[in-house]
Structure 1
């Protein structure tokens, strides 16, 4: 038996045979061509086929893993349509008289090197996306398959790395677990693994010779066992059965209150990216929606969504939730979420740049359009509005003034709207430290622990090299959360968490001790958090 340690991305146990997944990079031959125009036509046809395939992948991912996780395929489409990328391919074909396969491969290498050498981690991550889309086009040009066939039986996928397009194409009924050598806990594939409830490990030195061997993935300890002995195999089969029984027992928690043994109550809401996530919210019995990431309406569009387009979406969510609270976060674009039509431009440090509420206050008409749509929809349900990336009281005062202007406009034309709570996200140390002042101006706080941790520790959460020291449990982060809760309660408003830390069961008891009023998590974590709450004294 062999034993290896890695970093756990999603807890759980998987037992089965290993399938060594190889990307099978295309062998590209370089040769001279005489008809450059014809070769460019070949490339354009392959590119259009690739875009069609990516569109289908987006639609498949939308159904299986939700809007937020599917968005990477729209990013890939935009990259294939990028003018600089296409100019490079065309230039190599025309000026060097080279075949399209070589031109794409050469462009991919050049862009990969360019992105890899950038200091910004977001653009570094795009280097792997360039490789992914280029391999797809080369495969099409070569007449090769672009699918991800893993056979007919359930397997543990072992790979050097996995692209989002590869994981989404795999048959979900055949996936037991992922084990990769590369990747980070915030990579697209890691997020997909968590969304699909598939145990996953990263940072394991893999070997192709493992293919076909029996293995165990222990996502609780981050351990990978190759050729386990019979005694260990039986031990883990028992653990797996116990795990499955526990999952079934969670279903019995539907309809139960989120209340501790001592009688303390807490709201458990769900985070969503679009209306397609509503089924999971209802299936997992969330008490409401604590974070509706409205930016995905903008990311999936090739134009600024109109007031009517937004209104119809917000209305549908409000009606579907039938009186349960729906908290809509206003446009949180910028940093790692870009849309071409806003022409935001590239920034050296986008995580701290022109983003979120900074854009909205600088572009009031864009902001007002969204606010009108949300307020109109509030007449059809229980809607609250939340504003991201706040750092000052002055920003809140500007927001409230704009909201008042929009309400006055609606009153003038006789359009009804409901009673809407206004809240802010606490994502920056600045907001946490002055939360006593901010609490006087709003109805609630929602703590975005992902960014709060990033900014407090001065660690880029998408930088895999920093994973060993990225500590969301850092006492400084937890003390800031406590400060925010205390200051909220002093002013009689409620405070919750909508970041990933809300689903960390090892912290549930401490969050209850802090006095948090709400935890908003991915839909699949609603029942596990409810179970933890109900078992806490």
Structure 2
């Protein structure tokens, strides 16, 4: 291959990296069929490898919690549960016994068969499990082939751009971030587990580019803004990209100077810029980026990656720790939003054809009031240690809010009887259904604040599953209908003394910041890494 070459891919994380390419070579496992003499001994060998795979995933989970937070790390606990799935286990056992086959063959064949079944399902969440089945099958096979080691070996050795056909979530977490400038893969989408981890870890990344072995050791540019990989850039292109990279880094440095300053427009209007977090550890990132509060604390991280419901005490400690870390700044805790794309086996939720519109979030809480009261007690108790507000997801009616307020009042009554202190807790709801938008004037008379969840609101308004790649040409995050819904919600909220924020992805979309300010939005809650950029934009308006 001679001269400069350009390849277009899907940007997973925007940023620019310049360096030499290092190909990640994965060892090939032998999964060919070999006849065995003793099926039960082979099953015992499989069971031992399966147990080792669970141990490895538990170790990776612990490392991931430290690196990317509990919510993103839940991938690995979910994979360890999938290993124990009866269908998978039965398939391996029967393949060994029926064919007198070696365990490597049985695991590989079972993984391929079950993965294919998942990939053909209509539900996007279930289709995504196809890759997880392949991951766990590959892990078990690797352990079988290496007599039990099977450890991750994704280190890049010196600062380089890592290229591979694919990276599993475990391999992504195993990367030495100080040695990896960026990574490029052939497979994967912007919504895959690996992509989410890359964004959380702030590693520039591209997907959808067929990796060529000849690239190894060659100078390259990964441009996450343009979604482009350039191999052997010429002097002019290299200078241009170095200039862009320098400008990007300088912009980051300028944004750092905004720490400690208010998010105020040039004509004196204050907009609160809060952070979205998914775990107690994420509060540190919010503080590092000078968040003015926490606008969305996803409490479901406490419920994921475990086998039993979290106790009141476990929840209380988590909420209290975040409240203390924020030192009096507002912390808005969203009550349990399980269901749809977030599952926990011990909830015993029935399979649904359309889980995004099914039994989820506040619907589960109102159906299981004891579960709901436990969480509310923990939140109220934690409110004695900071400024805490409660936010309820997936609201569609005034009746729901009144039922919630009744349960909340009962919780406060019980705490008073027990002489347990709690603070003055604001009550708010998420506006993420068209029904809530249309009822926003009536709902505003029941609560203290609204927070608009633009991810689900856009999905429900446009009738588009935003994780379905086939629908990307039809998906418009800036659709006029969605913007009108936001404006209507702000207007109706203010009419009855409700402050209104945005906590979905649009809140961090700098192209819309000025429009949101014009609409009268009071608060924008964004990922910690977006806080200073949004503050900078607000201060220019």
Q: RMSD across aligned C-alpha pairs, in angstroms? A: 1.6
Give the aligned partner of residue 259 of structure 2: 254
Residues 1:130 and 2:142 aligned together:
no
1:154 to partner: Cα distance: 1.8
Q: Could you tell me whether the CA contact under 8 Å between 2:104 and 2:141 is conserved in 1?
A: yes
| Aligned mates of 2:26, 2:263 — CA distance in 1 | 45
Aligned runs of 1:487-506 on 2, under 5 Å?
A: 487-506=492-511
Residues 1:213 and 2:213 aligned together:
no
1:150 to partner: Cα distance: 4.1
| Aligned mates of 2:211, 2:86 — CA distance in 1 | 38
Q: Could you tell me whether the CA contact under 8 Å between 2:156 and 2:176 is conserved in 1?
A: no
Give the aligned partner of residue 88 of structure 2: 85
Aligned runs of 1:396-407 on 2, under 5 Å?
A: 396-407=401-412
| Aligned mates of 1:202, 1:293 — CA distance in 2 | 28
* Between 29-38 and 67-76, the greater mean CA deviation after superposition: 29-38
1:296 to partner: Cα distance: 1.0
| Aligned mates of 2:127, 2:194 — CA distance in 1 | 16
Give the aligned partner of residue 187 of structure 2: 182
- Cα deviation digits, residues 285-313 of structure 1 (max 9, x gap): 11111111111111133111111111111
- Cα deviation digits, residues 286-341 of structure 1 (max 9, x gap): 11111111111111331111111111111111122111101111110011111111
| Aligned mates of 1:386, 1:23 — CA distance in 2 | 46
- Cα deviation digits, residues 239-286 of structure 1 (max 9, x gap): 212222222222221111111222221111111112121221211111
SS in 2 for 1:445: strand
1:516 to partner: Cα distance: 1.1
Which of 491, 511, 514 aligns to 2:516? It is 511
* Between 67-76 and 7-16, the greater mean CA deviation after superposition: 7-16
* Between 197-206 and 358-367, the greater mean CA deviation after superposition: 197-206
| Aligned mates of 1:19, 1:444 — CA distance in 2 | 51
Give the aligned partner of residue 162 of structure 1: 167
| Aligned mates of 1:24, 1:499 — CA distance in 2 | 41
Give the aligned partner of residue 356 of structure 2: 351
Structure 1 gap segments, 5+ residues each: none
SS in 2 for 1:300: coil
Give the aligned partner of residue 33 of structure 1: 36
1:95 to partner: Cα distance: 3.1
Structure 2 gap segments, 5+ residues each: none
- Cα deviation digits, residues 42-75 of structure 1 (max 9, x gap): 1111112111111121111111111221111111
| Aligned mates of 1:32, 1:396 — CA distance in 2 | 63
Give the aligned partner of residue 21 of structure 2: 18
Which of 454, 462, 471 aligns to 1:449? It is 454
1:151 to partner: Cα distance: 3.0
1:203 to partner: Cα distance: 3.1
Q: 1:79 to 1:371 in 2, by over 3 A?
A: same
| Aligned mates of 1:290, 1:205 — CA distance in 2 | 40
Residues 1:274 and 2:279 aligned together:
yes
Give the aligned partner of residue 437 of structure 1: 442
Q: How many residues align?
A: 536
1:399 to partner: Cα distance: 0.6
Q: Could you tell me whether the CA contact under 8 Å between 1:195 and 1:524 is conserved in 2?
A: no
* TM-score (ref. length: structure 1): 0.96
| Aligned mates of 1:75, 1:432 — CA distance in 2 | 34
| Aligned mates of 1:467, 1:208 — CA distance in 2 | 31
Which of 323, 326, 334 aligns to 1:329? It is 334
- Cα deviation digits, residues 193-231 of structure 1 (max 9, x gap): 222222222333443333332211222222221211012
SS in 2 for 1:335: coil
Residues 1:241 and 2:246 aligned together:
yes
Residues 1:385 and 2:390 aligned together:
yes
SS in 2 for 1:505: coil
Q: Could you tell me whether the CA contact under 8 Å between 2:303 and 2:309 is conserved in 1?
A: yes
* TM-score (ref. length: structure 2): 0.96
Give the aligned partner of residue 310 of structure 2: 305
Q: Could you tell me whether the CA contact under 8 Å between 2:163 and 2:183 is conserved in 1?
A: yes
